Amino acid sequence: MKNKVKEIFIPGPCGRIQAKYIKSEKENAPIAIVLQPHPQYGGTMNNKIVFEIFNSFYKNGFSVIRINFRGVEKSDGVFDNGQGELSDAAAALDWIEKENPDYTQCWVSGFSFGSLICMQLIMRRPEVNKFIAISPQPNVYDFTFLAPCPISGLMVFGKNDELVPEENILNLKKRLNLQKNIEVKFESIPGANHFYNKKEKELTLIVENYLKEKITIS
């Protein structure tokens, strides 16, 4: 697989966006993007969790891209407190759609800060079918924009998340569960912290089970 992953640079709103991309061998494959954690706390597209989710999508038949937000490593620009990063994610989605015009499903995923951008993106892009949000931080970021959340998806959190009190996650779950016509599945991992140290296998299993349950390839 390593030989098939390409480092690419895609056009973004403030210059080049550094990315890693792998194309599925299957015709009409679904597509996905995976978004990094917070750039100002060392987050990059090579974060271990981002890498594992990227691999999970590919192993389940997706063409998938992960990007470095503006100002990270070789991406142009500077950190923009989420607004510019949302534009970067939208540019990545534009790019992978053009590369895969016959895709059957479109998924977005993000880890920590990336999960916020992921959820903001689904509010703006009606072609997205499903999402996977890893370690969302409703205690730090306001998720009330999910009113209503337009699509079903998966949220995963660690029971021992040192950055997010479980109460905040449960309040978000309660609010989203009141919405009709969608199902947001919440999965907790016992003993896992915000970064899933020594719990990466458990996280990957949850993600892959969800993919296998929800994917459709025509």
Domain containing 36 — which CATH number?
Answer: 3.40.50.1820
- Euclidean distance between CA atoms 58 and 88, whole angstroms: 22
Domain count for the chain: 1
Domain that holds residue 74: 2-214
Residue range 39-65, pLDDT digits in tens? 999 999 999 999 999 999 999 999 999
pLDDT at 73: 98
- Euclidean distance between CA atoms 45 and 75, whole angstroms: 11
pLDDT at 215: 86
Which letter does DSSP use for residue 163 in this model? S
Confidence of residue 1 (pLDDT cuts 50, 70, 90): low
Residue range 129-144, pLDDT digits in tens? 999 999 999 999 999 9
Answer whether residue 217 shows pLDDT above 50.
no
